[in-house]
């Protein structure tokens, strides 16, 4: 089974907790100096946090696609689902 999954994460970091003026620390993801802070107060660029979440969601989504719990039309046509946990 093939599948396409596109994940785009956009975080709202407009709040003051996501910026520490004058304190530049290495981003916890890429090491680039930044004044931005993540939700736990750790130095992190917004784009790095968004990419991190997107990668995690992508991995979960790909696993669900690979799981193939949604029957394909071929499975119905072949009668393989007649006794697969459904009404008999």
Instruction: Name the residues that contact Zn ion, by CB under 5 A.
Output: 27, 29-30, 32, 45, 48
Nearer to Zn ion among residue 17 and residue 30 (C-beta):
30
CA angle 48, 53, 58 (to 5 degrees): 120
Q: Looking at beta carbons only, is 38 or 48 nearer to Zn ion?
A: 48
The whole-angstrom separation of Cα 31 and Cα 16 is: 22
**Closest distance between Zn ion and the C-beta of residue 17, in Å?**
18
Q: Is 59 left (phi over 0), alpha (psi -120 to 50) or beta?
A: alpha
Nearer to Zn ion, 13 or 27 (CB): 27
């Amino acid at each position: 089974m093939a599948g396409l999954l596109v994940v785009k994460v956009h975080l709202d970091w407009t709040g003051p907790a996501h910026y520490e003026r004058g304190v530049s620390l290495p981003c916890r993801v890429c090491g680039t100096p930044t004044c931005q802070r993540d939700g736990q107060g750790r130095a992190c660029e917004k784009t790095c946090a968004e990419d991190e979440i997107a990668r995690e969601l992508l991995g979960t989504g790909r696993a669900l696609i690979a799981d193939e719990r949604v029957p394909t039309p071929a499975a119905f046509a072949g009668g393989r689902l007649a006794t697969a946990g459904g009404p008999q």
